[in-house]
Amino acid sequence: MQRNNKSVQAPDKRAGDRLADPRPIVLIGMMGVGKSTIGRRLALRLGLPFVDADDEIEHAAGMTIPEIFARYGEAGFRDGERRVIARLMEEGQQVIATGGGAFMNEETRALILDRAIAIWLDADIDILVERVSRREGRPLLQGKDPRQVLTELAAIRTPVYALAPIKIRSGAGPHEQTVDRIMEVLGR
């Protein structure tokens, strides 16, 4: 693959089958794990487009995610999310950051596992709590204790996230370290 960005590393000579894999790379994991930030940086390093599913959902609905939740509830949001992710999966090789609950939908999960390289970004609850406190507009946290909500969500979601074939730990260090680990796993 040709790369125009000089800061992108050259392909590893030992690169495996994933080097030429045309499927999209889909990042899954809890809110606050860094899917969007890591996804942007990963896409840049790979020379691929990046898309944030939450941004696409807002664009398609013509309203913000909190507005969608307020008007249609979580079930309505999840239905729209499922449709948007299905569309994104058809758009070819790119890096897609999903919302934290997207992979919990059975149909979305099956599509991702069948047609994408699914990467579960995982982090300790302390890291997630610190990161989600930096940004507002997370409907599942509105008026609630973030640590309690994230702990409860992790208990439910972790076994489902574990179905992803690739798991990468996102630590407290710079996101570039996580991107480096993903590049290693992808053979780049």
**Feature table: binding site:** 32-37, 54, 78, 100, 138, 157
Burial of 112 (0-12, 13-18, 19+ CB in 10 A): buried
Binding residues for Mg(2+): 36
Count of all residues that appear for the chain in the document: 188
Name the pairing type of β-strands 50-52 and 95-97.
parallel
Q: Known binding site for substrate: residues?
A: 54, 78, 100, 157
Q: Residue 129 in contact with residue 146, Cβ under 8 Å?
A: yes
Q: Which positions make up the binding site for ATP?
A: 32-37, 138
Hey, what are 109's tokens? 């999960």
Residues 53, 84: contact at Cβ < 8 Å? yes
Q: How far apart are CA 147 and CA 141, in angstroms?
A: 9
φ/ψ of residue 119, rounded to 5: -120, 120
| CA 130 – CA 133 distance, rounded (Å) | 5
| Cβ atoms 97, 53 nearer than 8 A | yes
| Burial environment of residue 86 by CB neighbours within 10 A (0 to 12, 13 to 18, 19 or more) | middle
